[in-house]
């Protein structure tokens, strides 16, 4: 009989950014008898950007981890994000709401929604209509917001980290301040312990590397191979700067706006408007990017912060007894705000593997984890590549390069299929795996939103077109009667407000 894999009892998490804290919290809450410690360096600090999420993030916090909603909303102060408004492509503007606008076929219509959207692409669903009208939620009969699970959050990184740290401590996670300067290896190749600058040695039998872009364990100690996505995603820097909100309404979506050498985000916090310009340093200098950013955003600070990054991931996220979570394992540029989505998805898989293997994960389970997480990275790479390749509007050298040179990876066969068959649900069979929240809907939004020509166009008879329009008007009317972010914040802060099925505070 071969030896059984080693038992995991003590976990050390390196890093206390959002990834490290979510890792510690997920392990401790779901597998309470594991010993979980975090070591983090206050001198290095956290990256401090990353403020849009996808819908799996609130689900992870509340449904999976069971955090108390009232407490979280009071202290982390998120606002609701229903999707992304793209100021993009030949239409100039279209909305991607996190529900099914296009991957939907009404029973009384012959074709799925996308076939009716050559000219007009709005209000195809309730969330789509809410976004269009700047509202967050529909109103219930009693006047309260009808808060459904298809929303994501806008959330300030500092507040999020603070609340997660408090929750981790309350769940029994120990947090040690210290800078990791090296590691002892196990005879078989894994990590036995890390050394701190002050001479301490912290041993554990399992390590989570959540050290951000420094990737202290997976990258530096274990020297895992790094796979660059630079043939698909050309942006590598961001100018970041926002301002205190004055009269601007709090929009219920992120805005992504094409720029000369990339795109700019606008993320909506209650008291702060958060802007950033993601660009390619091969096409524009930092100074030129800052100038373009400031021209567009005269209220932004005169010397905005520059953040450098690379898009790509390590070949394996789990090597020996080290799993990387967050930026330490990989990063793709933030066009769809995917980092926390990947963190939560990977953590749920990891917890499941540890639990089902009774804390003795086999090599083949480790391989499976690497297969699934590797696929999650490449699916998102291909999805983002589509955003660049399909944008036919801007005529700068950066965008010409994107149209000509972006490697679509597995999304290339979807594009071919779409050009022949249009926005049909059959397109889903040309997606490679969909290990993410976007699925066919996200891809169709890019294809239809960018008005990519196809050979299956459909002209609906007049009566059918009227039925399509009637449904749209119904959504529009419901949305117009809805509540905006400010109204909804007032509701959830009222002392009498109760979240459905909320867990006890603490
Ligand atoms: C421009 C930009 C925009 C982004 N936008 C989004 C977005 O909208 N949505 C999203 O989900 N994500 C976004 N991200 C990604 C975001 O950074 C991550 O989601 C998130 O903050 C997780 O970071 P992290 O915890 O992996 O790393 P960090 O926040 O960098 O944390 C690293 C931790 O490791 C510790 N550490 C590192 N080295 C050592 C050492 N030697 N010893 C001890 N401790 C150490 C640090 O002290 C820190 O605690 C964006 C990133 C960039 C660059």
Q: Measuring from atom 15 of ligand 1, which residue has the nearest CA?
A: 50
The structural domains of the chain, with segments of one domain joined by +, span 10-51+156-230+312-361, 237-308
pLDDT higher for 72 or 148? 72
Question: Is the domain covering 10-51+156-230+312-361 a CATH 3.30.499.10 domain?
Answer: no
Residue 434, pLDDT above cutoff 70 = no
Summary mean pLDDT of the chain? 95
Nearest 5°: the CA angle 39, 48, 17 is: 25
Using the mean position of ligand 1's atoms as its centre, give its distance from the Cα of residue 139 in Å.
37
* pLDDT above 90 coverage of the chain, percent: 92
Nearest 5°: the CA angle 435, 439, 441 is: 170
- What is the greatest pairwise CA distance in the chain? 78
Residue 2: the pLDDT is 63
Mean pLDDT of 466-490: 97
Q: Which pLDDT band holds residue 506 (cuts at 50, 70, 90)? A: low
The answer to whether the CB of 135 falls within 8 A of the CB of 251 is: no
Using the mean position of ligand 1's atoms as its centre, give its distance from the Cα of residue 212 in Å.
5
Residue 1, pLDDT above cutoff 60 = no
pLDDT tens per residue, range 299-314:
999 988 999 999 999 9
pLDDT tens per residue, range 287-341:
999 999 999 999 999 988 999 999 999 999 999 999 999 999 999 999 999 999 9
Tokens of 469: 């329009």
CB atoms within 10 A of CB 240: 20
As a whole number of angstroms, the distance between CA 9 and CA 404 comes to 51
- List residues near ligand 1 (CB under 6 A): 14-20, 39-41, 44-47, 49-53, 157, 179-180, 210-212, 214, 216, 238, 276, 307, 309, 326-328, 334, 337, 339-340
Pairing assessment for the beta strands 262-268 and 254-259 based on DSSP bridges: antiparallel
Residue 31, pLDDT above cutoff 80 = yes
Residue 303: the pLDDT is 87
Q: What is the pTM of this model?
A: 0.96
Residue 435: the pLDDT is 61
Going by C-alpha positions, the residue among 226, 57, 120 that lies closest to residue 473 is 120
The answer to whether the CB of 386 falls within 8 A of the CB of 411 is: yes
């Amino acid at each position: 009989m071969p030896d059984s894999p080693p038992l995991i009892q003590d976990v050390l998490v390196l890093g206390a950014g959002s990834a490290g804290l979510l890792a510690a919290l997920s392990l401790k809450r779901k597998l309470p008898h594991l010993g979980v410690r975090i070591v983090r360096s206050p001198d290095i600090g956290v990256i401090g950007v990353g403020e849009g999420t996808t819908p799996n993030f609130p689900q992870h916090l509340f449904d999976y981890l069971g955090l108390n909603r009232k407490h979280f909303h009071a202290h982390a102060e998120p606002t609701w994000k229903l999707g992304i408004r793209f100021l993009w492509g030949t239409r100039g503007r279209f909305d991607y709401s996190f529900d099914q606008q296009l991957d939907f076929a009404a029973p009384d219509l012959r074709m799925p929604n996308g076939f009716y959207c050559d000219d007009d692409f709005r209000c195809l669903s309730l969330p789509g209509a809410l976004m269009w009208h700047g509202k967050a939620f529909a109103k219930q009969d009693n006047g309260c917001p009808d808060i459904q699970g298809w929303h994501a959050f806008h959330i300030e990184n500092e507040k999020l980290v603070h609340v997660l740290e408090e929750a981790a401590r309350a769940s029994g996670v120990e947090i040690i301040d210290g800078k990791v300067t090296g590691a002892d290896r196990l005879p078989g190749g894994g990590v036995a312990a890390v050394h701190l600058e002050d001479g301490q040695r912290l041993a554990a039998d399992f390590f989570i590397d959540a050290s951000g872009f420094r990737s202290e364990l997976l990258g530096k100690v274990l020297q895992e191979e790094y796979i660059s996505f630079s043939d698909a995603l050309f942006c590598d820097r961001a100018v970041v700067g926002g301002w205190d909100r004055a009269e601007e309404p709090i929009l219920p979506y992120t805005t992504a706006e094409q720029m000369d050498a990339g795109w700019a985000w606008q993320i909506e916090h209650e008291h702060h408007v958060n802007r950033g310009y993601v660009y390619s340093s091969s096409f524009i200098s930092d100074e030129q990017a800052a100038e373009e950013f400031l021209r567009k955003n005269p209220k932004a600070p005169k010397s905005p912060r520059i953040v450098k990054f690379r898009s790509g991931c390590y070949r394996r996220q789990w090597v020996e007894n080290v799993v990387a979570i967050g930026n330490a394992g990989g990063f793709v540029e933030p066009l769809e705000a995917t980092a926390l989505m990947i963190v939560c998805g990977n953590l749920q898989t990891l917890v499941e593997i540890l639990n089902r293997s009774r804390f003795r994960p086999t090599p083949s389970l480790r391989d499976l984890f690497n297969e699934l997480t590797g696929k999650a990275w490449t699916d998102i790479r291909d999805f983002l590549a589509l955003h660049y390749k399909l944008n036919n509007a801007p005529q700068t050298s950066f965008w010409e390069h994107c149209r000509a040179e972006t490697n679509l990876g597995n999304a290339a066969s979807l594009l071919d299929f779409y050009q022949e068959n249009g926005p049909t649900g059959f397109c889903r069979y040309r997606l490679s795996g969909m290990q993410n929240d976007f699925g066919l809907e996200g891809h169709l939004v890019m294809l239809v939103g960018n008005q990519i020509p196809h050979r299956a166009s459909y002209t609906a008879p007049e009566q059918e077109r009227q039925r399509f329009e009637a449904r749209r008007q119904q959504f529009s009317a419901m949305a117009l009667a809805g509540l905006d972010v400010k109204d909804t914040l007032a509701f959830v802060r009222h002392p009498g407000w109760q979240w459905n099925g909320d867990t006890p505070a603490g």
